[in-house]
Structure 1
């Protein structure tokens, strides 16, 4: 869980999330889910925040049924596809969500 002050502290990242959502033509529910995931697991290290943001958005697309590829999400956020690939499953499990069974 996160505090309301976390939204203010990480406003820049949430703005980047909103921009990526628009780029990917995703719904608001996906953005809200991604923001919740990001704020619940935001790392202290600034270098890792973009990676967690990308993984959060990817997981949110899976949860809401607005699936986008790891590459599409990575491109929209500005990380490599490998970054998303390496982080999304841990984030999903940490959030207590079930991985899709494709």
Structure 2
């Protein structure tokens, strides 16, 4: 869970998340999930936030049933695919969400 002050403190990062979600053409549920995952799992260092944004978007899209490739999410955010690959499972579990069955 996160505080309202987390939203204010991370306004710039949330804007980047929404811009990347626009590029990925994600729906409302995926965006909401991604925002919740990001704010509930904020990294301590600013340099880690871009990777966390990408992983949060990937998780949000998966949970909402709007699966996007790790590569397309990484490209939309401007990070490497490896950044998504290394972070998404941890975020999914930390958020108490279940991975979809493929």
TM-score by length of 1: 0.96
Corresponding residue of 1:72:
72
Corresponding position of 1:48: 48
**More RCO (CA 8 Å, sep 6+):** 2
How many residues matched?
102
Q: Which residue of 1 aligns with 2:82?
A: 82
Which of structure 1's runs of 4+ aligned residues deviate more than 4 A? Answer: none
Separation in 1, partners of 2:41, 2:59: 13
Structure 1 residues not aligned, in runs of 5+: none
- Structure 2 gaps of 5+ residues are none
Provide the rounded CA distance (Å) in 2 between the counterparts of 1:65 and 1:101. Answer: 11
**Is 1:19 the counterpart of 2:19 in the alignment?**
yes
Give 1:59's aligned residue. 59
Q: Residues of 1 paired with 2:69 and 2:38: CA distance?
A: 19
Q: CA deviation at 1:94?
A: 0.7
Partner SS state of residue 26, structure 2: coil
Residue 38 of structure 1 is matched in structure 2 by 38
Per-residue CA shift, 1:68-90, capped at 9, x if unaligned?
Answer: 00000000011000110010001
Separation in 2, partners of 1:94, 1:6:
17
Shift of 1:101: 2.8
